[in-house]
Structure 1
Amino acid sequence: MTEELKDIGPDRSLLLVDDDEAFVRRLAKAMDKRGFQSQTALSVAEGKSMALARPPAFAVVDLRLADGNGLDVVQTLHEQRPDCRVIVLTGYGAIATAVAAVKIGAIDYLSKPADANDITKALLEEGEDLPAPPENLMSADRVRWEHIQRVYEMCDRNVSETARRLSMHRRTLQRILAKRSPK
């Protein structure tokens, strides 16, 4: 067991909510090795029911899930157990969602890819220290791709509406959306 967890107390329950089953399974295994007692959920509905049945001391919740918004799980967790330390994890970071997550009870907001060490540090961090600037910044292509993804989501995944808002031809947008994200 790590030294970090000795000071936390007896309740080391951790709820992991992510619709990527392989990722959440690997993360649960890694967090269990760090002394947490993990349980996993693959959807908003499953996460909320687990939060209502046995509110955990810690939680890591993905923002975008197949059946809805992970912020609904964060809100349920905060209502059931105000002292629950919740981290919101997402591949689609935006200032507006980060602010919303913190307002409803999240203590931090991490963008993917985040490993178990980053998550453990964020869950256990008590200080008010500002985070260090990122070592490797996103490329211009990655920033463009993420902006397109945000607008696409805002338009409820409607390609024609997204193309109109971005002043882009619909076919060009379809080709961009079909490609993998740039590094």
Structure 2
Amino acid sequence: MNTSSQSLSSSNYNRKLLLLEDDPVFARTLCRQLNSKGFHCEHLDDVAHLLTRCAEFAPEIILLDMNLGDTNSLPYIAELRQQQPKAKIIVVTGYASIATTVTAIKSGADDYLPKPINLSSLLNLIDDSRTDRTSNQVTDESQRLSPDRLEWEYIQKVLDDNKGNISETARQLNMHRRTLQRKLAKKPTQV
């Protein structure tokens, strides 16, 4: 290893990072990249052992994929925060919305990162000190959203208000349930 690589990873050497991700290829790739930067990376593919493993491993950084098949990692954030008060918790998702971002931050997450993940952006988030920066980003982004993205955000907010009940959300949006399901199945449009 050359000296420039050593100096780059020396600040991260042996920092424990727990990755909760159900995509095995993405998880292997990300863990390999993080290990090369000096992190001690562990991977879980479901929430079944999340709290137990966090208690045993005591990670400094916890990366949580929000959607894990039929499960969601958001309900675990508050307990993780209580169990690991000094850990940096970052929620990662391919289905980012303002409603879920706000829920994650209010539950105790430090940051929220949409997929695909850029490694340098992730490393910047990990090394950045805890600030209220995330809530400011949400406000700034909401001021420049496209109409399609605004629709996505509004649907997510109404769905969140209805605790995930698609039928009630469709009724409140005056939309057919199938139409709502099709809109929810699509990835959100970029800003």
Check whether TM > 0.5.
yes
**Counterpart residue type for residue 31 of structure 2:** A
**RMSD (CA atoms):** 3.3
- Percent identity of the aligned residues? 35
Aligned pair 1:126/2:129, yes or no?
yes
Match of residue 55 from structure 1? 58
The 3 A distance-change label for structure 1 pair 4 and 72 is farther
1:24-64 Cα offsets, whole Å, 9 max, x none, are 22221221122111111112223222112211111111233
More displaced stretch, 16-25 vs 35-44:
16-25
Match of residue 11 from structure 2? 7
Aligned pair 1:164/2:171, yes or no?
yes
Q: CA shift at 1:102, angstroms? A: 3.7
Aligned pair 1:92/2:96, yes or no?
yes
SS class of match (1:113)? coil
Aligned pair 1:148/2:155, yes or no?
yes
Task: Give the conservation status (yes or no) of the 8 Å contact 2:64–2:89.
Answer: yes
**CA distance in 2 between partners of 1:179 and 1:130 (Å):** 28
Task: Count matched residues.
Answer: 179
More displaced stretch, 77-86 vs 35-44:
77-86
The 3 A distance-change label for structure 1 pair 100 and 169 is closer
**Counterpart residue type for residue 88 of structure 1:** V
Any stretches of 5+ residues in structure 1 without a counterpart?
Answer: none
Aligned pair 1:116/2:123, yes or no?
no
Task: Give the conservation status (yes or no) of the 8 Å contact 1:108–1:122.
Answer: yes
Task: Give the conservation status (yes or no) of the 8 Å contact 2:20–2:64.
Answer: yes
**Counterpart residue type for residue 96 of structure 2:** Y
TM-score, normalised relative to structure 1 = 0.74
**CA distance in 1 between partners of 2:101 and 2:20 (Å):** 17
Task: Give the counterpart of 1:77 among 63, 77, 80.
Answer: 80
Q: CA shift at 1:181, angstroms? A: 4.5
**Counterpart residue type for residue 75 of structure 1:** A
Please state which structure has a larger fraction of its residues in helix: 2
TM-score, normalised relative to structure 2 = 0.71
Match of residue 37 from structure 1? 40
Q: CA shift at 1:155, angstroms? A: 4.4
